[in-house]
Chains A and B, each alone.
Chain A
Amino acid sequence: MRRTYLAVSVAIFASLLVAAWVTNDTGVKVNDPENNIFIPEELTTTLQVKASYDEENIYFRYRWPVDRPSIFHDVLVYRDGVWEREKGEEIGPSENFLNEDRVAMMIDDGSVPLFSRYGGYITIGDRLSTFTGAPEGGEERTKYLPETRSDPNNFDTVVPQSELDTLREAGYFIDLWQWRSSRSNPIGLGDDGLVAEERSGDQGTGPYYTNWDNELDQPRFMFDPQVTGQNSLNFDDVVAGNYNFDDVYYLSDQTAIAFDPNFEWKNGDTIPRRMLRDTQGSRADVVQPTASRWEDGYWDVTLQRKLDTGNVLDDKIFRDKGSYDLAFSVFKNASTMRWHYVSLPMSLGLETDAQLVAQKFTGENPGWEQDWTEVKMFYPGQISWGRLTDPNLHPGAEGIAQGVPVAYRHSEEQLALYGVEVEFADAIYNQWLWTLFLSLLLIVAMGININLLMIRREH
């Protein structure tokens, strides 16, 4: 009978261990929009990249999987006499698919020493917009580089302008190319920007501006019916994804006319909130050979730029046989802000050894005969540079101080999981402590049990 008790006890103990194993990592990671927490279902994805160049231009081709393309950003919808703005949620994916898809690429030529080792992590400063606990209201708290602050972990400690100018002249900035499916793609443009004391566009004008007249409280433009056959789109069709690349779904100089408030607008009429235009100045450097398309589940985007734009304060200049560092991000599933997928830094060589080798070509356009370079992308969560460099918060801080590259210690999958854990850091820590304490109790209880039940039969 005692042995039966003993066997049952061991079975209970083993069952509890199995139950702990099965229920591990549940019950805590719950989306919390009020604290800007939304965990994507998919934590990693893959970006394919190719690069080519000739005597004048460099081309990058990007391809990434997207189940349903999101070709609208924010729109204006007519409802009961009023034009209302409809935009995608900032936290997590937009149910109405009103956040555009995007690809972005950071470029450095070695002037930002930390970038080659830690990539975009160095640009994630103090409580950026949509981070949990970020100050609400006011202007967007964008990415910035550490040296642009007297205290890199304090967003508000921007160094004096003279020092910013000196840093810029020394090349201390990250070139940032962007492609947007709604706000640049329809007219075949990209967007040329940079990250220094903030993330901003290069000098000049960007590919879009806001289609809204504040004084008249109405749109400034609508579709030109003579060119497009319509005055507006239909909101239900926008949400349902019924517009495709054969439709005119964007406003530009070629497709828009001045807004007519006297037109008999009806509920659900929809006009894009962005007017597209040609870019100018340094910001116009990044363009597309042709407008990109989504096909068979993939965006296939090509961006091009002059090797040497002459804008050395905005752009990283490419040179034949040169070596550079890149980091990518892609937006999919109609998500925006920090709900993107990023890469670790990777090296680029123009016909020289690197993780991504740009091939030189002759003729009018790249042949793209080379194989794709696969880049693992991951959801970064809320990992800031301040956290990574703080020895009291990150065991690897000493490694960073010694210059150990992130890729040496962490895989993309690992970083995605860590990024999620940080979003629930306090809750997980408490649950872990309780698990530790009660599991210890269980082990001691098992010991007491065996000690009481094991038979000491004298031979």
Chain B
Amino acid sequence: MAVYHVLVVHFPIALWLTAYLFIALRTFSDAEIFVRLQKSIWPLILLGSLAGAVAYILGLQIYPWSAITQSPLGRNHIMLATWTLSYWTVMGILGFRLRRHLFDGAQKWITFTVGSIGALVVVITGTLGGSLTGTPSLVTKSLSYVGWNVYTTFYVPTWMLVVFALGAILLVALGYIGRKYPD
């Protein structure tokens, strides 16, 4: 199953990173071609999510769950793959709902920031997959220079989990409170 995971996983990576490229181009330019390309962003993202879901399911078939979740690198790859898939799916839904408004005025910087985080997560997920198959890249090593050795499981302490939960509630609350204000 590993070979099929590796085969399929190229599709979401290519689609999501292409979408990010279009987001970046549109953020920094109002040229007509980039305005046209902007229309393809959400389809690219959601196609990527579809391919990503297939790759995700295939990936989970490679090793028994009990084995892969005993491996720090395995856990990390699952964690990052879950983030990537969910993050870009959320981005795709936003793209579908907001369309061109993603790039209205200063909002384009929000879109660009959120998109950049997504691109970063894709790259880390990919490099963890490479490490898992025995081909660590410079990205793997670079992560340790900025505080995360990928051969240790990524998890946060319990108090941080509480902060996460509170943060999620706060974000939703800010959304509902903020939307009462006019544009």
Which A residues lie at the B interface, using CB under 8 A? 1-10, 12-14, 16-17, 19-28, 390-395, 397, 408-409, 413-414, 417-418, 421-422, 425, 428-429, 431-432, 434-436, 438-457
**Interface residue count on the B side (C-beta < 8 Å):** 68
* CB of A385 to closest CB in B, whole Å: 15
Complex Cα spacing A32 to B51, Å: 45
Q: Which residue of A7, A20, A409, A417 is within 8 Å of B110 (Cβ)?
A: A7
Are the CB atoms of A414 and B171 closer together than 8 Å? no
Given A5-B181, A454-B107, CB of A432 within 8 Å of CB of B155: yes
Are the CB atoms of A431 and B179 closer together than 8 Å? no
- Find residues 126-183 in chain B having any chain A CB closer than 8 Å to their own CB: 132, 134, 146-149, 151-161, 163-165, 167-172, 174-179, 181-183
Chain B hits for A417, CB < 8 A: 72, 149, 151-152
Complex Cα spacing A23 to B147, Å: 10
* CB of B160 to closest CB in A, whole Å: 5
Are the CB atoms of A393 and B66 closer together than 8 Å? yes
Are the CB atoms of A449 and B156 closer together than 8 Å? no
Q: Which residue of B104, B107, B164 is within 8 Å of A16 (Cβ)?
A: B164
* B98, CB-defined interface residue at 8 Å: yes
* B11, CB-defined interface residue at 8 Å: no
Are the CB atoms of A432 and B107 closer together than 8 Å? no
Complex Cα spacing A446 to B113, Å: 13
Are the CB atoms of B171 and A24 closer together than 8 Å? no
Chain B hits for A391, CB < 8 A: 63-64, 67
Contact indicator per residue, chain B 94-110, by CB within 8 Å of chain A (1) or not (0): 10011001101111001
- Interface of A: prevailing SS: helix
Pick the most buried of B70, B72, B183: most chain A CB atoms within 10 A of its CB. Answer: B70
Query: A418-B72, A432-B154 known; 11 other A-B pairs, CB under 8 Å?
Result: A5-B181, A9-B171, A10-B113, A25-B155, A27-B160, A395-B132, A397-B67, A418-B151, A445-B169, A445-B172, A453-B175
Q: Which residue of B147, B161, B174 is within 8 Å of A438 (Cβ)?
A: B161
Complex A-B: 9 CB contacts under 8 Å: A2-B179, A5-B175, A27-B157, A28-B157, A429-B70, A432-B69, A432-B75, A445-B172, A451-B94
Chain B hits for A20, CB < 8 A: 156, 160, 164
* B56, CB-defined interface residue at 8 Å: no
Are the CB atoms of B147 and A1 closer together than 8 Å? no
Given A16-B164, A24-B147, A435-B161, CB of A1 within 8 Å of CB of B155: no
* B40, CB-defined interface residue at 8 Å: no
Complex Cα spacing A435 to B170, Å: 18
Chain A hits for B123, CB < 8 A: none
Are the CB atoms of A9 and B174 closer together than 8 Å? yes
Given A12-B171, A395-B63, CB of A450 within 8 Å of CB of B114: yes
